[in-house]
């Protein structure tokens, strides 16, 4: 997978100002080194794209935090409630997160990636 293919498949990352080539290239290099093509086979580009998107979301989240004058890199769990004045919202994320998923549960891309990684890594099965 190259950057152009990634941006074509994940159009939400097409903004080159928000997701500059250098940032995408850096994380693409990382995820390419982590995923084995012999294991992922025909799903390699999907796995690479999901892992790359996950890392980009976290990187941009940290950049936005730094620009707001706060400390980037702070680990945040899934937000399950928020209150402003008399309005309150909460979400049940248990149905869409992976047990033991840790870091991968921090974005929807990571959740999808880990689900696929577990299937790809499961190996063959007999009936």
pLDDT at 114: 95
pLDDT at 98: 75
Ranges of the chain with pLDDT below 50: none
pLDDT at 62: 93
Whose CA is closest to 29, among 56, 66, 61, 60?
56
Neighbours of 98 (CB within 10 A): 16
pTM, whole model, 2 decimals? Answer: 0.82
pLDDT at 80: 66
């Amino acid at each position: 997978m190259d950057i152009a293919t990634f941006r074509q498949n994940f159009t939400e990352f097409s903004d080159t100002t928000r997701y500059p080539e250098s940032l995408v290239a850096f994380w693409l290099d990382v995820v390419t080194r982590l995923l084995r093509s012999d294991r992922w086979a025909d799903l390699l580009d999907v796995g690479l794209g999901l892992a790359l998107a996950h890392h980009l979301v976290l990187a941009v989240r940290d950049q936005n935090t730094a620009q707001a004058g706060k400390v980037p890199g702070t680990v945040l769990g899934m937000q399950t409630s928020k209150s402003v004045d008399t309005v309150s919202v909460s979400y049940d994320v248990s149905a869409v997160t992976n047990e033991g998923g840790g870091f991968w549960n921090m974005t929807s891309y990571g959740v999808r990636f880990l689900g696929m990684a577990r299937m790809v890594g499961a190996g063959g099965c007999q009936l």
